[in-house]
Each structure stands twice: as structure tokens, then as C-alpha cells.
Structure 1
């Protein structure tokens, strides 16, 4: 009897976990959906504010790589482009990119309408609990839209007019980016074809690079960048400390960029995948930086800091198309080749007399192609041919529309500042103020 009394509590203790599992198994599907809804919404919000921080990274990177007489102009452009993007993505961009069943042209063109959020509290309102809140999704996707515009800003620095640039940003963030992104992420024709771009090596980065390329060609190089005998004249930036800070901020923000693109955090598997994405993203960035560091030492006899910074960014862009499937070693190879691409393509652009102030075209367009193409190496569901087709389709669309728009702006309101304004600096010419007034003459 005493033995039985002693065994009963022990049996109860042993049975508790099983009872808990039974209760968990008996829990309604609604409870599980609530948990998934909450955690995925939280992922979007956390990832979104990390990607928002990338706006500061672009601002600091560009401020450091332009001359001191143009710093305030770059800062205005960066805070302005993000703000215009936020408004335009609400007005038309989000529903154009994610039309659901409301395609204007199925698989190609979404719906032109403003974004509406859920009612406050969701009390008594039916909603789709299998995904995330509309507010968190809108917030997260907006950050990718604004990033695309940030890429253009750096390439066209030191000679573009402020308001024509903002006009382009309005069209890019409201129409151009949402249309091409809908082809993949909105369930459009590229998605149906089997194209794969996990977090946007093509949809965000190469698209921004193609727009930047169109702008650089229409705008022309800065005064004094290329001599009459064809030599490249280096134009050093004003503050490499700021540029380095900007790179680290972008590196940090990229964890939200790639990690948030898992688009789910409701299961143990999702959480493990997000952790894997973080690790691969970091490895690719480190490999890109090291590759550029070693290569510039070998090629030029000295390490070039600006190349190392862009090497890290190129590594990040390269892994963005598929940060989940690779092993750490594969991520190292993918990111390292991204860093090599930058070192070789920056001087190649100069030979073509395409003046890219911050190196955005090599980093985002060329490394974006590499990252998109190499997806098929680690993702068995992807095809090298399909990856090339998707990249070419988005590239042609963005480049042609951007080139036409820049050409129209150039022929009507003017795209480039006057020669005197460019020589004296856009801070005074366009804004009437300077970022560093204590260093000005007089």
C-alpha cells in the first residue's frame, strides 16, 4: 500500500508532459494560426525596421563618397527619396505589386489603388490568420521599394538636379518597381515560369542598378572625371569614416532584408531557417570584403578601402537571391566572387566613361546578376536558363522605362545642374546651405 502511494505521485509527474502534449494536440487550429499570425507579423516589423536602418546606411555611404561640397545634397536626396517612396507605395505601389485576384493584366500588371489596413484591434472582423497583418506586410515591403531608389541616388550624385531626381523616384517607387516585382513576388508570370529570387538580388538590387545605369548614361560624367586624352581622374570622397559607418549599417540592415524574406516565423523550422539565412548573409559579406582586400593589394600594391567596402556590399547582394539553401562554404564562395566582381568592373565602367560615383552599378547590377544566376547551384528547383531569362526581362523593362523617363526629364525640365553650380557644389547651388560651412572659404 505504501509502495502504491509513493508510485502514484511519481506516475503523475511522468504523465504531465504527455498530458501537455495531448492538450497541445487537442488545441484548436485557430490557436496555432494566432501564434503564426503574431510571430510572422513580428518578423515583418523587426525585419522592416532593420531594412529601414539601411536608409541611414545609404545616406552615410554616399555622404562619405561624395565631395564635401555635395554632402548636404546627398542627405536631402536620401531622406526625400525614402519619404516619397513611403507615400507612393501606399498610394499605388503595394496593390500594384500584390494584386491578389485583382490583376489588370493577369500576371503582368496589378491594380492601381491605395493600400488599406485592418480595422483597429480586428475585433469581430474576419482576417486571414495564415499569414501576417497587412500593416506589417506593407511596412516590410515598403523598405525594399525605398532601397531600390537609394541605389540610384549614389550613382547620379554631384551633378543631378534635386526635383527632377525626385520626379524619377516618384515614378520608380510608385510604378516601375512594383510592376517588375509583381512578376515574381506578386505571383506574376516570372513566378509561374519558375524564376527564383529569395530576397531581391534582381528585383531590388539589379533593378536599382539598371535604373542607375540609365541615369548615368543620360546624365553624363562629372566635369573633370575623364580627361581629354581618355585618362580617368580620381575624385576622392570627403569622409571615408562616414562611408565605412554606412557600410556597417547596411551590413546590419541586411539581416532584416534577407532574414525577413523567409516570410514566416511560426514554426521551429522557420526559426532555424532564419538563423541559417543570417549566418549565410554574414559569411557572404565577409568573403566579399576579404576578396576585395586581397585582390586590391595584389593588383595595386596597396589595399583600397572603397573597394573593400563595396566588396562587402557586393557579397551581400550576391547572397540575397538565395541566402537559405547554401552551406556556409558555398556562401563564402558566392560572396567572395561578388567582391572580385567589384574590383574588376569598377575600372571597366570607367573605360566606358560611365561615371558611377559610389560604385552602385558594379555592386547592385553586376553582382546582382551573379547572385541571381548562381541560385541554381544550390537550389535544385531553379534553372540557370530561367534565372537568366528573369534577370533579362526585369533588366530590359527597368532600363528602357528609366532611360525614357530620364530623357524626357532632360528635354523638359532639365536633369543636370549648370556648369558653375557643379563646380561650386550642389549644396550651395541647389540648397543654399552646406554640410560643412566651417570649412568654406571666407
Structure 2
């Protein structure tokens, strides 16, 4: 009997060894497959965020064409050149201090601290280097928005000095408050891709510049009436908007930072339909007001819709995205008219497109945010329409006041100091000649200038041109 039990135990032990021994390779294979899937997911997310960062950086080409086309030919080369210079400088400042002031882990609810002179470390998730590039692209966009308030009258040195100050004292503070673990983020402020952080911050800097620089020569008459100073190339302006529009998919959809569940496509869809609704709304307002479809108004409407949906693209349903865009298209027109009557010279409509629409887009989630989407994103709660509560709207409101107020106040102080020590504006003679010549020593369109000078010389020397007598 004992022998029988002994044989049974040996048999069971042998069978167990065979079974479990065969399972060990299966467990190892499963672990390897899981690791492979995880590595693939990280790789896809990294690729997507890198593509998104490039798309956002590509928006600088849009800003060059938009600002150049919306201003006069004599300033075209200056506008293109200062964009390249300031984005390059912003990149270095963001590496040196900006990123650390936003995301530094040793900071507090007001400012981040640490990770200065950013050196990426190894990571099992999204590589820090690609996240750095993505955030750098956002900072550069906010800076380029600010330049709308400087256009056609600021010294090149002012762009350089303000880039340093804005990239350290202004943008990182607001970004930390909302995205870097600061107090507004802790309160649940919803700003998915930056209607406040990027657009309102840049617009408030533009407002400070516009106030201190004063209007361009010839913009306003003594009686307060405004003269139109049209941009020199509507094709450039339209191409600029198209480039910005394409880059915006990196801006909004890229802010998901992942591709796994396809949520980035939902965000992209909301972005597109909001922009379409805004463009049509702006055209309707232009038709009603001016009896024509004004191209600059339509283009500003398109941009306003993109700005407005930037905060809410991940928090609202498609029907709400269309509503947000539609309101933004009308709002940008009303805002531009209001500013013009108050003698605030805004050549690129930065204050209306990025300021007014940025405020509306931020507030819109307080009304229209879906509780399910807010839960999915993990920020704040549903808006008033769903919950009957004004709590989220209140958070959005004081977030706009705090962030916008800070950006304006610090920008104003920085520019005021520059004005006192170095001066902000070129001389009247330099402004009339154009910043291409006065700041860079060459024209953006040399062939045109040469032709014009030849015509002037011919006019002065010829007794008759085209059949008409001329004065000597």
C-alpha cells in the first residue's frame, strides 16, 4: 500500500513538472508580447507627438504670411525676418529656463522650478525630449501672436528684448498655473490646448504693445475717424490662414499626447467643424453689415473659430463645437469694430482673433462641457447646460481674469521699461520709409522699389509721360 502511494506521488510530481515546465515558456512569451505591445504604444505616441510638434512649429510660416499679407509691402521683409529671429531666441530661452518654470517639480502652485537647461532623461513612457519640443512650439506661437500689436512701428531690438522677458516672466507663469500643476489646474480650469494659455496670453501682450506704441502714422484723423490701411497681399493672408489651419490639428489633436483610443480624431473633428461654422458666421455678419463678403473678415472669422475651440475641443460634443465656432465668427467682427472706435490700432486683429475669441472659447466649457468628456479628460466637470451648476463657469471666468490680467500687467511693465531705457518705436521718417529699409537696409521687394524709383526719375526728367504734361 505504501508502495502504491509512493508511486502515485511520484506520478503526480512527474506530471506536475511536465505541466508547469511547459507553462513557463508560455508565461515568458506572454510577458515578452506585453512588453512589445507597450513599447509599440509608446513608439506610436512618440511619433504622433513629434508630428504634432512639427505641425505647430509649421504654424510660424502661417504667421509670416498672415502678418506680411495684412500689412504694407515696405515692411514685408522685416516681418518675415523678425519671426525667424524671435522664434530662434525663444527656443533657447525655453531650453534654458522656460520649460523648468512651467514643469519644474520643485516649484509651487505659482511657479515651477527645476529642470533648467533641460536635459532629457530615459523614460518608459512618452520621451521627455518630444514633450519638450511640443511645449516649445506652443510658447513660440504665443509669442508670435503678441507681435500683432507691434506691427509696422516697433524697433527690431524691441522684439529681441521682449522675447527674452515674455519667454521667462509672462508665458511660463500662465502655463504653469494651468498646465504645469499650478493653482488654476488644481481648481479644475479647462483649457485643453490653450485658448487661455497660448492665445489670450499672446493677445494681452499685443494689447500692452498697442497701447504703448500708439497707432501707426495716418491711421486716425484728428476727428477720431479711422483710415483703412489695407494689407498688400490677400493671397499671402489666405495662405497664412491655411497654414495655420493645418498646423492647428497638431495644436489641438496633438494635445491628446496619444493615439491609443483614437480620441485625437474626435478632437480634430471638433476643431474643423468649429472653424467652418465660424467662417460662415463671419461672412454672414460681413454681408449684413457691409453688403459684401469681405475676405479679411472671413479669414479672421476662420481663425477665431480655431482659437475658440482650442480650449473646449476635448470637452464638448460636435453640435456644441459648431455653436462655439458660430458665436466666435460674429464676435471677432464686433470686437474689431469696437477696438477701432477706441483708436486701438491692431493691424493683424490679434486682440479680436486671439483675445476676444480666446476668452469666449475658455468660457464656453462652463456652459457646454459634457460631464462624460470632462471625466474622460480628467479636468473639471460638466457645464451649466448639463449640470445646472455654474461652478465650472466660475472657475473658467476667474481663470480668464487672473491669467489675462497677469499677462497684460507683466507685458505692460516690461514694455514700459524698454520704452524708458531704449525706446519702442522707430522714428516717423523710418516708419514712412518702411522697416525693411530702416531696420535691415534692404527691401523685401527690391524689384518693385527699383521700378518705382525709375518711374519717379523718369517723371522728373521727362516733359511728357503718357500724353500728359508734367511739372519740372
TM over 0.5: yes
Q: Is the deviation greater in 431-440 or in 239-248?
A: 431-440
Match 1:198 to one of 192, 210, 219: 192
Quote the offset at 1:95 in angstroms. 1.3
Distance 1:24 1:358 in 2: 60
> In the TM superposition, what are the counterparts of 1:25-40 in structure 2 within 5 Å?
30-40=35-45
2:274 is matched with 284
1:115 is matched with 118
Distance 1:281 1:23 in 2: 44
> In the TM superposition, what are the counterparts of 1:19-98 in structure 2 within 5 Å?
30-98=35-103
Contact 1:165 1:415 in 2 (8 A): no
2:178 is matched with 184
> Residue by residue, what CA displacement relative to the aligned partner does 1:122-177 show, whole Å, maximum 9, x if unpaired?
xxxxx432x31111101111000000010011221000011112210121123321
Residues 24 and 388 of structure 1, relative CA distance in 2, 3 Å threshold = farther
> Residue by residue, what CA displacement relative to the aligned partner does 1:170-226 show, whole Å, maximum 9, x if unpaired?
211233211210111111111111111000000000000011101111111101111
TM-score, length-normalised on structure 1? 0.89
Distance 1:32 1:205 in 2: 37
Residues 374 and 432 of structure 1, relative CA distance in 2, 3 Å threshold = same
> Residue by residue, what CA displacement relative to the aligned partner does 1:356-375 show, whole Å, maximum 9, x if unpaired?
00101100011000000001
The answer to which structure, 1 or 2, has the higher relative contact order (CA under 8 A, 6+ apart) is 1
Residues 304 and 213 of structure 1, relative CA distance in 2, 3 Å threshold = same
1:231 is matched with 225
Match 2:406 to one of 355, 380, 397: 397
Quote the offset at 1:385 in angstroms. 0.2
1:319 is matched with 309
1:426 is matched with 435
> In the TM superposition, what are the counterparts of 1:273-312 in structure 2 within 5 Å?
273-312=263-302
Q: Is the deviation greater in 23-32 or in 427-436?
A: 23-32
Contact 2:150 2:210 in 1 (8 A): yes
2:417 is matched with 408
Contact 2:169 2:410 in 1 (8 A): no
2:357 is matched with 367
Contact 1:92 1:175 in 2 (8 A): no
Quote the offset at 1:264 in angstroms. 2.1
1:12 is matched with none
Distance 1:396 1:167 in 2: 21
Whether 2:380 is the aligned partner of 1:378: answer no
> Residue by residue, what CA displacement relative to the aligned partner does 1:97-137 show, whole Å, maximum 9, x if unpaired?
1112x11xx1111125210023xxxxxxxx432x3111110
Q: Is the deviation greater in 424-433 or in 326-335?
A: 326-335
TM-score, length-normalised on structure 2? 0.83
Contact 1:44 1:139 in 2 (8 A): no
Whether 2:211 is the aligned partner of 1:217: answer yes
Which structure would you say has the larger Rg?
2
1:13 is matched with none
Distance 1:395 1:281 in 2: 23
The list of structure 1 runs, each at least 4 consecutive aligned residues, that deviate by more than 3 angstroms after superposition, is 21-33
Kindly report the root-mean-square deviation, in angstroms, between the aligned alpha carbons of the 2 structures: 1.7
Distance 1:97 1:86 in 2: 14
Distance 2:224 2:205 in 1: 26
Alignment: residue pair count: 406
Distance 2:45 2:136 in 1: 16
Q: Secondary structure at the match of 2:178?
A: coil
Whether 2:157 is the aligned partner of 1:163: answer yes
Residues 22 and 349 of structure 1, relative CA distance in 2, 3 Å threshold = farther
